[in-house]
Structure formats: structure tokens, C-alpha cells
Amino acid sequence: MSSTGDKVKGMANEAAGNVKQGVGKATGNEKLRSEGVAQERKGETQQAVGKAKDALKKGIDKA
């Protein structure tokens, strides 16, 4: 997957995770809130991978 694709998927997972957390918190559903936290972390990781790919590509392009 491209660095842009990783970053976009990461942002989408973060957003969905935040929604799940909010709904879980509002309804008292701890399982849904926990799933939201996990999905948000997944999104953060995906974005970090995308940024690392960008940095690597820039480093290779300069060489």
C-alpha cells in the first residue's frame, strides 16, 4: 500500500475509533468503547507507517 493510502486508512480508523468510543461511553457499553480505543490506536499506527514510508522515499530520492 502507498504511503498516502496508509495515512488515509489510518485517519479513517482513528475517526471510526473515536465514534465508537463516544457511543460506548454514552451508552455505558465498555466493550464498544474498548474496541474504539483499539481501532484508534490501529489508525495511529497506520498513519505512522505512511509517514515512515514518505521519509524513506524522500531519503532514497535524495541519494
Q: pLDDT band for 58, please (50, 70, 90 cuts).
A: confident
Using alpha carbons only, give the angle 55, 41, 22 rounded to the nearest 5 degrees. 135
For residues 29-55, give the mean pLDDT.
97
pLDDT of 62 over the 80 cut: no
Could you tell me which residues come within 8 angstroms of residue 20 by beta carbon, excluding any fewer than 6 positions away?
A: 32, 33, 35, 36, 39
pLDDT of 56 over the 70 cut: yes
Please give the torsion angle defined by the CA atoms of residues 26, 32, 34 and 37, in that order, rounded to the nearest 10 degrees.
-80
pLDDT of 60 over the 90 cut: no
pLDDT of 8 over the 70 cut: yes
CA distance 10 to 61: 25
For residue range 18-40, list pLDDT tens digits in order: 999 999 999 999 999 999 999 99
